[in-house]
Amino acid sequence: MLLNYDQTLNYLFEKLPMFQNVGKYALTKDLTNTIRLLDFIGNPQNDIKWIHIGGTNGKGSTSSMIAAALTANGYKTGLYTSPHLIDFRERIRVDGEMISEQFVIDFTNKIAPVIDEISPSFFEITVAMAFEYFKVCKIDIGVIEVGLGGRLDSTNVITPIISAITSIGLDHTDILGNTIEQIALEKAGIIKKNIPYVLGELPLNASQVIRDYGDTVNANEIIKAPTPPNWIANASLKGNYQKSNINVVFNILQAIKGLNVPLRDEQNLNGIANVNKFTGLRGRWEIISQQPLTICDTGHNFDGVQFIVDQLKSYNCNKMHIVWGMVKDKDATAILELLPKNATYYVCKPSVIRGQDSAVMTALLSNQGFDAFDCKNAADAFKTAKGNCGNDELIFIGGSTFVVADFLISLQ
């Protein structure tokens, strides 16, 4: 019997395999465990309106913007995202409020017998926990972010009213396939029979794979309309990459008006303008301070880093100081080639088992001609960067979701 929240978290983190720690070894080959867990708790995912969001990049931001708009419209809205940055409970929210510690304790005790029986993954447990919590809270609608891939992701047991795939890029190639077409087919697995879907800005070959899959299940693609300029101007998420995500959000919200979800345009815009307030989202081109200008962003794969570097180039500053770390299973060589050579790098190991050793990363940077310093952790790296940074210079923290998480935790 788990008696308190810390004990429960330790049980979940230590007993169950977590992708952020052990990578693909935490994944299961099918949805059997998820289905078994949900059967055990009475299939709480049934009879709820869902919006399902997948994609290589942008799915967390897109899910959060949709949830913010729904909450602004007065709907009791569940939001499931992953991973968390500071608190495990960030993953499961209703109208921006995190799941209670007591519910986490009670739920884990409740399903302990089936955990012992089938040894599910950490992610499978959190999906079941989210569905149970949303049912208990009697939400009006839930927004569910895919964890990884789509076809075999634990979230892919729901029947949504609409689905979306925000982007397709080469990431997790050891799991999803090493071509854009293979990855697109895995992502397309969230599209359900006779259920409409929206696509973001995708490579043509990826779009074709997904549309062909949609045709096989008689699912209609929503032909996107352009985003109103005031949505972009008033959006609270300021990364340039958000423009494509906002377009997906706009078209989903327009589409669900005809799916028995009445919405008001002014409240949709209110949600987009106040995403962080309505959902608690963090780490997306988040400005920490103005002097020196300090920004963090969770972009961590080739496409995500390309967007970051392009936006960093738009800042008129004398010098950049970059706190940087990565996980071992990313293509570091390709990603490092994107980074600005005229910056100074403060290298740290993300505090997960998959984190690349800082000495290894520092050597990789140094060998490519970068000015790089090996630091103990994200907090030490930031402290060193700040000590070397003038008010007219810039600090950026990124390279991994977990570097951003470590940094934000250090600010508490």
Say what the pLDDT of residue 16 is: 64
Proportion of the chain above pLDDT 70, given as a percent: 95
- CB distance 37 to 120 below 8 Å: yes
Both structure tokens of 257:
């008006």
User: For residue 172, what pLDDT band results from cuts at 50, 70 and 90?
Assistant: low
Average pLDDT value for residue range 170-175? 64
Say what the pLDDT of residue 96 is: 97
Residue 110 CB-half CA count within 13 A: 16
Say what the pLDDT of residue 162 is: 98
Global pTM reads: 0.94
If you ran DSSP here, which 8-state letter would residue 412 be given?
-
Q: How many CB atoms lie within 10 A of CB 4?
A: 11
User: For residue 22, what pLDDT band results from cuts at 50, 70 and 90?
Assistant: very low
pLDDT one-digit tens code per residue, 205-225? 999 999 999 999 999 999 999
The sign one gets for the Cα dihedral 61, 49, 183, 21 is positive
Could you please report the per-residue DSSP string of 110-162?
A: HHHHHHHHH---HHHHHHHHHHHHHHHTT-SEEEEE-SSSSTT-TTTT---SE
Comma-separated ranges of CATH 3.90.190.20 domains in the chain: 286-410
Those residues whose C-beta lies under 8 Å from the C-beta of residue 135, and which sit 6 or more positions away, are 44, 45, 48
> What is d(CA 66, CA 251) in angstroms, rounded to the nearest whole number?
10
Is 24 a residue whose pLDDT tops 50? no
Q: Which CATH superfamily is domain 5-279 in?
A: Mur-like, catalytic domain (3.40.1190.10)
Which stretch of 17-31, 61-75, 146-160 has the lowest confidence by average pLDDT? 17-31
> What is d(CA 158, CA 239) in angstroms, rounded to the nearest whole number?
30
Task: Kindly give the residue spans of alpha helices, DSSP state H, lying in 235-286.
Answer: 242-256, 265-273, 275-279
Q: Strand order of the sheet with strand 293-296?
A: 286-290, 293-296, 394-398, 320-324, 344-347, 371-374
What amino acid is encoded at 113 in this protein? P
Say what the pLDDT of residue 23 is: 43
> What is d(CA 237, CA 61) in angstroms, rounded to the nearest whole number?
8
Is 20 a residue whose pLDDT tops 80? no
Which stretch of 14-23, 124-133, 160-169, 346-355 has the lowest confidence by average pLDDT? 14-23
Average pLDDT value for residue range 68-93? 97
> What is d(CA 53, CA 60) in angstroms, rounded to the nearest whole number?
8
Q: How many residues does the chain have?
A: 412
Say what the pLDDT of residue 171 is: 62
Contacts of range 228-231, beta carbons closer than 8 Å, 24 or more positions apart: 230/269, 231/269, 231/272
pLDDT one-digit tens code per residue, 291-343? 999 999 999 999 999 999 999 999 988 899 999 999 998 889 999 999 999 99
Is 26 a residue whose pLDDT tops 60? no
User: For residue 19, what pLDDT band results from cuts at 50, 70 and 90?
Assistant: very low
Q: Distance of alpha carbon 283 from its chain centroid, rounded?
A: 10
Is 351 a residue whose pLDDT tops 80? yes
Is 285 a residue whose pLDDT tops 80? yes
User: For residue 173, what pLDDT band results from cuts at 50, 70 and 90?
Assistant: low
Q: At what angle do helices 101-118 and 5-15 cross, to 10 degrees?
A: 30
- CB distance 170 to 180 below 8 Å: yes
Average pLDDT value for residue range 1-6? 86
Say what the pLDDT of residue 25 is: 41
CA-closest candidate to residue 69, choices 218, 312, 273, 326:
273
What topology does CATH give the domain 286-410?
Protein-Tyrosine Phosphatase; Chain A (3.90.190)
Say what the pLDDT of residue 21 is: 44
Is 362 a residue whose pLDDT tops 70? yes
Say what the pLDDT of residue 174 is: 67
Instruction: State phi, psi for 346 to the nearest 5 degrees.
Output: -120, 105
- CB distance 195 to 256 below 8 Å: no
> What is d(CA 373, CA 155) in angstroms, rounded to the nearest whole number?
40
- CB distance 61 to 237 below 8 Å: yes
Those residues whose C-beta lies under 8 Å from the C-beta of residue 260, and which sit 6 or more positions away, are none
- CB distance 125 to 111 below 8 Å: yes
Comma-separated ranges of CATH 3.40.1190.10 domains in the chain: 5-279
pLDDT one-digit tens code per residue, 247-277? 999 999 999 999 989 999 999 999 999 999 9
In whole angstroms, how far apart are CA 277 and each of 46, 89, 379?
29, 16, 26
If you ran DSSP here, which 8-state letter would residue 364 be given?
H
Token pair 């608690």 in the structure block, residue: 280
Taking the CA atoms of residue 331, residue 83, residue 32 and residue 158 in that order, the dihedral angle to the nearest 10 degrees is: -120
Both structure tokens of 319:
């010098």
